[in-house]
Structure 1
């Protein structure tokens, strides 16, 4: 019997009817791109519906908006009658959506989940066993294993329990970590037709949700830097916008160091997402700016701060979303001075690099 193939026209599977969850995923993406502008996001959603027929006769965009209100995703805007703003539930939903998009779905884990190389009297018991050491507590001794050892070592007829028979349940120290995430909001983040700020926001939101779910004892502070640097709340990340700014990396690093000095944890680090070179300094009330090439006055002050971070054992991981060779040369010099790490990433791969490095760094003791 001859074997062959029969071809027919592919008909994509159709949902029986549009549902709230599928539209919500699209809405979460759109409201991130529009920096939290609900009206603009819904306008875009309506345009997409018109073009791609996202809804049907039984469930339209109007129904979806009503469901958003009923389920607590939208609040009335007190400044504009008849308008809506994102609720706290939406802000958390956007962070979860970013986490799932970038890093996949995570199961909630216990607190203090960063392993260190240290063992002994730690925070959590493991399945490992070891010999008794002076200072081990009675609660750490595995009685079943110790009695078995005594029977093997001395025989059933001469049962006695000696120090050499004792086995101890090994425990692990679980470290806490303090991280400052720096996000470049200079004008170059939207230049040349590339939207680099939206992926940066998604990474920040996903990292915040990762810390909340998996490492609840950790701290994560987010700062933005343009001509100046300032701290923002995690709940404000969806609303982050690029400004007509230069790149004052020095101000960002100074603020990050100030924040980390106040943290009592032993493990501290800085993540910096940027697409450009430092181009700005603040001198008193005036700004020194130079967007042409690498200005040594600006670069040297930036490198001095990188060295200061190294001296206080704060590694800096730089995620450069640009491919210019002279910018990579600067980042390599910056990284060498700090003894940190650097990644040159496409926008698509940025999130995976951040999370991979976050988890690896948490396993160190700096």
Structure 2
């Protein structure tokens, strides 16, 4: 029967095809399942049974075929298992970026620096009168000609120094960033998933830098009993392990990475939910999960002070509310002269992105 089909209006789903709607959910599930395709599809089937995600015109089987045809999954892996492709990995990063920037538009908390004008590469909408030393490239000729016509008439065109207006520009600095992610066991303790929001932030930050700040560098360091780097493409698969928290190893590796970077602006972001509980002494691990261990703490403070001398600020994003843990972060931040945010999991992305964006420009006189 011809006619109109009416459905409940949902502004988030406006104009999306059935495949696109299911893809959004699929990408979210891949983040929670650490990139495990089979587990994500099991969840898709369960959710479909519960919430009727599909209908008689488009089912989960159709979705699987579209995933294959559009290059989101690969059935030709050596072990015969279905794996997600690099296209899917990038889609997860883009989805995380959109999700976090969506929060940024709605939230009001965070650090907003006021940027003063200077010589640089980003145009400022404001203008000012000409001053000795300004270059020809800075002159706003449209406004300057208008001023000349207003001041001297249009019959005989004249332009003097007082007519000139200068278009300001901001200098956009290059930055080398190391993002440290705590993957100790406490990141999933007590029924609270802290690693997934941390992964989303890392994926979104990497996508932001690759697209908006291509000259910047971003390195991802994960730390448990030890610390090691991972590639951006490995972020969806990141998992928590049966580890203690060796913050010292993470900072030492971050410092080694930043020493090799030529950018003058360097910074470390650290996402953690607890105190340092581990230290490697030679080939032996020194561990203490009971309270704040002074031996481990002193080593952390020493590294924070070293970073301060090297002009490497450390911004700590603390996702735990225990007072004695927050006290450690406050002392650590004072040693480094850095920043500390005591953020909930839902606000973690907003905090880290506002801090990153606020440090992107500096005044040049």
* TM surpasses 0.5: yes
| Structure 1 unaligned spans of 5+ | 1-10, 108-113
Q: Does 1:238 align with 2:236?
A: yes
Q: Does 1:179 align with 2:177?
A: yes
Q: How does 1:98-247 map to 2 (within 5 A)?
A: 98-104=96-102, 117=116, 119-120=118-119, 122-143=120-141, 145-146=143-144, 163=161, 166-247=164-245
TM-aligned CA distance change 1:161 to 1:326, over 3 Å: same
Q: Any idea what SS the aligned residue of 2:121 has? A: strand
| Distance (whole Å) between structure 2 residues aligned to residue 94 and residue 295 of structure 1 | 39
Contact 2:181 2:223 in 1 (8 A): yes
Match of 2:40 in 1: 41
TM-aligned CA deviation for residue 150 of structure 1: 6.2
Contact 2:170 2:361 in 1 (8 A): no
TM-aligned CA deviation for residue 98 of structure 1: 1.3
Match of 2:29 in 1: 30
Q: Any idea what SS the aligned residue of 2:345 has? A: coil
Q: Any idea what SS the aligned residue of 1:349 has? A: helix
Residue 274 of structure 1: which of 256, 261, 272 is its match? 272
TM-score by length of 2: 0.85
Residue 309 of structure 1: which of 307, 310, 335 is its match? 307
Contact 1:98 1:205 in 2 (8 A): yes
Output one character per residue of 1:205-250: Cα deviation in whole Å (capped at 9) or x when no partner: 1122222333333222111011111111111100001111111101
TM-aligned CA deviation for residue 145 of structure 1: 4.9
Output one character per residue of 1:240-294: Cα deviation in whole Å (capped at 9) or x when no partner: 0111111110111111112222222222211111011101111122211111111
Match of 2:109 in 1: none
TM-aligned CA distance change 1:329 to 1:105, over 3 Å: closer
TM-aligned CA deviation for residue 144 of structure 1: 5.5
Match of 1:56 in 2: 55
Residue 286 of structure 2: which of 271, 285, 288 is its match? 288
Contact 1:115 1:173 in 2 (8 A): no
Q: 1 or 2 for the larger relative contact order (CA 8 Å, sep ≥6)?
A: 2
TM-aligned CA deviation for residue 45 of structure 1: 1.1
Larger Rg: 1
Match of 2:65 in 1: 66
